[in-house]
Amino acid sequence: DLHYPLRRQRQMCIRDSLKGQNVQYMVGQLKNFKADKRQDKTMSKVAKLLTEEQMQAMAIYFNTGKEQD
């Protein structure tokens, strides 16, 4: 796949931009996407699929860089 390097670079940039983000802020933004209070073509769709527990786990992962046990 010729586009793999570009996709991989974009994924790393997104991950790096979320690294260390405040957990409560991130959960709040995910809830806003889910409730259509904030709009984004991709995140609005993703947030609607997440439970609050999954939002919390995702926010902790980006904050710490580690998955929960």
Assess contact for 14 and 42: CB atoms under 8 A: no
Is pLDDT larger for residue 4 or for residue 52?
A: 52
- Whether pLDDT at 14 is above 70: no
Q: Sorting pLDDT into bands at 50, 70 and 90, what band is 21?
A: confident
Is pLDDT larger for residue 31 or for residue 8?
A: 31
**For 8-24, b where at least 16 C-beta lie within 10 A, e where not — what string?**
eeeeeeeeeeeeeeebe
Is pLDDT larger for residue 17 or for residue 59?
A: 59
Please compute, for residue 61, the number of CA atoms within 13 A of its CA located in the half-sphere on the CB side: 10
- Residue type at 51? T
What pTM, to 2 d.p., does this model score? 0.73
- Whether pLDDT at 2 is above 90: no
**Spatial distance between the Cα atoms of 44 and 17, rounded to a whole number of angstroms:** 18
